[in-house]
Amino acid sequence: MEKITIRMSESAPVSIDPEQWPVIAEARDHDGQQYECQANTLRTIRVRRKSAAEYLVYGYAKAGAGGQFAGTRNPYAGYRVADLDAGVGAIRRVAGVLGDDHLGSECIADLPAMEI
């Protein structure tokens, strides 16, 4: 399987096998146009889980097909956390780096429900 590299905020990037780290929550958004395929910027926040004590929360912005101004710097953020409580905080931090609190709320809403 092909590995992916995730840029982290407070450590070196990590390389993972996506089959061993499935996505359990995701939120995506775009700006610039009505349709994603025309957007200037695409933003994504993802949560991946390897075990009950290993989660990766990360997000990034990247150029869309609509293009960006020359020299645009797209933000990224990533955190490794031990549980979903810490994961919610990490989602909020990633959303802050991306400048999109609504995207963070959408990702939190996409997390698996906790039974209480």
pLDDT of residue 68: 62
pLDDT for residue 19 is more than 90:
yes
Q: Look up the domain containing 68 and give its range.
A: 4-110
CB 72 within 8 A of CB 56: no
Q: What pLDDT, on the 0 to 100 scale, is given for residue 70?
A: 75
Domain count, the chain: 1
Q: Contact 30/42 with Cβ under 8 angstroms?
A: yes
* Cα(7)–Cα(12) distance, integer angstroms: 7
Question: Is position 115 within any domain?
Answer: no
Mean pLDDT lowest for which of 13-17, 64-68, 111-115? 64-68
pTM, whole model, 2 decimals?
Answer: 0.87
The confidence score (pLDDT) of residue 41 equals 75
* pLDDT-above-90 percentage for the chain: 65
In a domain, residue 49? The reply is yes
Position of tokens 């982290």?
Answer: 8
Average pLDDT value for the chain: 89
In a domain, 47, yes or no: yes
Answer whether residue 116 is part of any domain.
no
